[in-house]
Structure 1
Amino acid sequence: MAMKPQVWVAALFLCAQASVSPTQAQDEGVDSVAVVARVGEQQITMSDLLGAERRLRRFEQDQGDRELLQPFIDRELLLLEARKASLDTAAKVQRTLDGIRRRQLAEKVYREEVSYAVSVTDAEMRQYFVDNGLDQKREVRASHILVDKAEDLEAIMHRLDAGEDFADLASELSLDAPTAAKGGDMGFWQEEDARRSSFVQQFIGVDLGKIAKPYRNARGMFHLVKVTEHRLLGYERQVDQIRRVLQRQKKKARWAEYLAEERDRIELTVDPETLSVLLRAGRLAVYRMPPIEPADHTRILVRFREGEIDLGDYLEMLRDTSMGDRPRAVDSTAVAQYIEHETMQRVVLPIVAERKGWHQADDVAEYLNEKREQAMVEMLRRTIAEDPYLTEDVRYAYYENHQPDFLEPERIFFEGGLVSTMIEAQQVLERLRQGEGLADIMKVYPAFSEQWRTYDVFHFTTSRTDASHGARWAKAVELVRSLQPGQIGGPLELPFEDDSMGYLVVQALAVQPARVLAYDDPLVQDTVRRQTRHEYRKEITGSFYSYLEDLRQRYEMSVVVYDQVLTTADQYR
């Protein structure tokens, strides 16, 4: 049976990750040096094959060993062609590899300075066991009777009151057959189970020998639960979890300490003036991307002993970060922390790794070589199969024909200050009228609540109705619509969930006109390529498989499969 295209693609890119170390292979009973095939000078071993099989189980389970081997062979053929085309030195491959290399070197520093350096002693674990009350931690054994009618439940309770045995009644009447056969026994439960289940919460704290209040489940059935045993968990049953907790705590503390030492050593500082420029621009951010003027891109944001980072570099960092992980563009603390974190991860730690020679370590070199080969194969695939169909004309035509998809609606930006009393709101208004900035004014006021910040910047699209913002914020949107940029409004009285009242003062910032995103916008480029690739998916798949079949024929004499070894795969499973 031929491998499905999506399964074959998964297999192709899992091939590079399928290798098993000789030690691991030996531990698992696999002859790691048993060669099942050769492609030119490259060997494919039994451990490679079985490693890929484990990773492919979630896609398809009925692949024969010969079919499972084919993606390994195909990958080596593609690599031969990619090397002939010198794709290992292609700019796109190098850019991809540069980002991967930086991340891998940062991870290498973590492994060397933290993972390998942190240990937990038995004495520390026993101390944690006592200090955190784990020596008193217990589990509860319980039995239950399950019925589907309230009158049946009431009848059982009467029989229990009359002295009948709970286990006997469970065996006779419970609708849960597996536990009924054991007198209703459900085994042991712990506090962690209670945190995940309202059913377990019902009986976890019940005294030994007592019956919990009846519980009605989501299907409307009734559980009557009796606690039959309490027992302490003890040290040995908790030691692995204690070790993990202490290791996690120690690693976190050691990493924070190490990063602080490195920041001090390299004298990392954030330029306050440039940060102010960044935060001002952040007031008009969309998707947490501040609109920095091109003339400001060269302004230095971060200085450290080995170099510096400008605003243009910062914007690149943001583009490489998912929106959920980007900092709020007007939150000075969050922005500064993000700057420091990304500077350390992307720049400083790779320098540290190189200075210590860790970039030459075998594990780093092997990982980067694997990723290089993956990038080469992917670029070859795009060059051979996608680019002939996804030409510049095709992509631009898609852009022209789908202009509404790239329309950024008109947005109104405003900043707001939220306080607890009308008097405070009037004070804020007065200071605003005197020319102070709202962000600076609100610094002296405490947080309004755990959920709501005292100061923030908002934007909304004018295409949405006021009501669509919700009853509370519809009033604010209605007010802001009536303001011109720079004008002040409020205070507005806003009700909150806990019956408290808040008072909102706003200042309109700007109106961003509706516009169609430019063709060269990265978001547009990604969307256009993804959509046109979908439109031509059949042609692309057919073209790639045709190319692959041609490679198989051209290199037929360079491929050797050792069937006598391949047939022994079952004994290693």
Structure 2
Amino acid sequence: MRYLSNKFCGVLALLSMGCSGDETIVARVGEVEIEQAEFEAFVERLPPGLRSSKEGRAADREHLQSMIDEELMFTEARSLGIDTSLAVAHQLREMVRQRLVERYRAQVIVPQVEITGEDVERAFVEMGFDRERLFSRILVRTREELEAVGRDLRKGQPFEEVAARFAANDLFAAQGDGVVGWIGRTQAARRFSIPPAVFVGLPVGQVAEPVGLAGGYQIFRFIEDRPTALVDYSEDVAERLRKERTREKEEEEFERLRVRYDVRLDPEGEAILLQSLDRPLTTDELNHPFYAYEGGTISVAEGLGSLQAVGAQGVLQDKAQAAERIGRLLLPVRLFEAEARKRGWTEEAAFVEWREHQRRALILNQLFQQATAGAAPSEDEIRAHYEAHKDRYRTQEAVIVHELWTAEEEDAAALRAEWEAGAPIADLLDRPGVRSHAGVEGHGVREHGWEMRLVRLYEPRYPELVKAAFAAEVGALVGPLESMNGYAVFRVLRREGGQIQPFAEARRRAAASLRRQRENERIGAFIRQLQDKYKDQVVVLVDW
């Protein structure tokens, strides 16, 4: 049995159970009783890969031993003081705070947000959704090419002539002159990484500051503007307006609670914070309150930590600015948490159960860390492991495709026919209702032709698509085939991967694999030690 992963997953399955009415006891570990119903629920929730390979009572014995082993680990954790450690307490406190704040935002702040049709119409114009812009660009791969393009444009060379030199880089600009087509504000941001402020404010004909992309740089301009219809962008406008209104309501709620909870800046804490510029602070100084409010405080250490987390230590030069920044970073969360507690959310049965589940999981995680300390292999051991198992370290096999997706099979068949007749993929992708999974969840690099890289790992999500792609020849046009509640058509561009990686490339994977192996071995040995150490506390009450 692979103790590290299997045991931990088993624990989470056990911890997620509620109490049962069946009082038949199958085993005792110290004062902890394992009931028949708990055992059955434990087994039922185990994923297939973690279940015993045996059958009948032999499988039952292994599963019951897993439950016993988990209780032995909790017993050991208590003996080591892990259950009351500062590390566990701090992590649990942060998890509780996050959960309370998320619920407060969802149940108190978000319901206050109202968006009317008139609001959407007004924001449609104010946010710049009311026009599309004819987009032209030059794609380059290197900094040297970027600088050369800049020099040529400053010398007065026409934009389209410079773009023509790099036409092979851009599948969207089919004519080779850099003209991609008409785009709206949403397309500009999502597909071409153009900030909204630039889309709205850049004058026609003016070349914008270059934008860094995944594979190089984009130099662009807008050639012409045309009006758009509200119906085409109403959902985008409403979503952006909703986010803005939510931020406004959150700010209003924060100011209301700031008064209600009597938030105060501690002058001594403020002075201590500024002294951190000149010398290390003592433990007492770090623990001194910086902000105080009804029911809680924010320490100097927490204030410094918040500034460091956002790289804003420079504001320490100005005490007023430092206080304001720390307040903005930490006070809303603390006050929302305080109000959530005042409403009794932490006393609800479901929350208490969730909190205990998280606490026990954190305890086991700390115990595992102690049990596997020192498992990191040496450089020589990593290389020896790689040499002995080279075949495991191959580059990932992938099939690179262009893919179109639409909801209806008839539409997908029509797209295939046009594609076969020579229609550019960029034009087909601009059709209403047509998209590519290359632009979903980071599977493709949309700036360079919407190539979709399919690997076996994606098969659970795109089963038909992945199987068909790996079976097809390079150059083949395949489909329509069912995919993601619609129909896909794709062309295989090339195949990649499958070669044994050199050690330098495989080293990280080899090190991780060897470390996991050693951790599992140590956890297995650790469990056996606990079984021996606490054998007098274990009583099995069933004859399996």
TM-score normalised over the length of structure 2:
0.44
Relative contact order higher in (CA < 8 Å, ≥ 6 apart)? 2
Larger radius of gyration between Structure 1 and Structure 2: 1
